[in-house]
Amino acid sequence: MTTFDDRERAFENKFAHDEEMRFRAEARRDRLLGLWAAGLMGLDGEAAADYARSIVVEDLKEAGDDDVFRKVKADLEARDLPADGLRAKMDELLIEAKAQVMGEVE
């Protein structure tokens, strides 16, 4: 092995690690978002947990956050709840989720 091969492997490992952390943080954000929205909709206990899981699964349907945004927005509006600030809440929860995931890694 040469130094170049070692550096290449290190970059590949870092990329894989960063992608795994991003995936975990986004999944955590989706769960937190689902629990937050469930609370607004009056769901609690197992119903809230089920709803949060459905949000995590929703994010796997297509790349990006639009699928999650559309689902939560539609669910809130179906119950005559405002969806104003939903993107901001998603951003806020992503920061919280990243901190939680990083805390688990340390």
Q: What pLDDT, on a 0 to 100 scale, did the predictor assign at position 1?
A: 62
Give the pLDDT of residue 106: 54
Q: What are the per-10-residue average pLDDT scores of the chain (106 residues)?
A: 77 80 91 95 95 91 88 94 92 94 76
Its domain, for residue 62, covers 3-105
d(C-alpha 52, C-alpha 27), whole Å = 10
**pTM of this structure:** 0.84
Q: How many domains does the chain have?
A: 1
pLDDT of residue 55: 94
CATH for 75: 1.10.790.20
Backbone angles phi, psi at 35, to 5 degrees: -65, -40
**CB distance 23 to 94 below 8 Å:** no
Q: Are 94 and 55 contacting, i.e. CB atoms less than 8 angstroms apart?
A: no
Please work out, in degrees rounded to the nearest 5, the angle formed at the alpha carbon of residue 60 by the alpha carbons of 20 and 33. Answer: 85
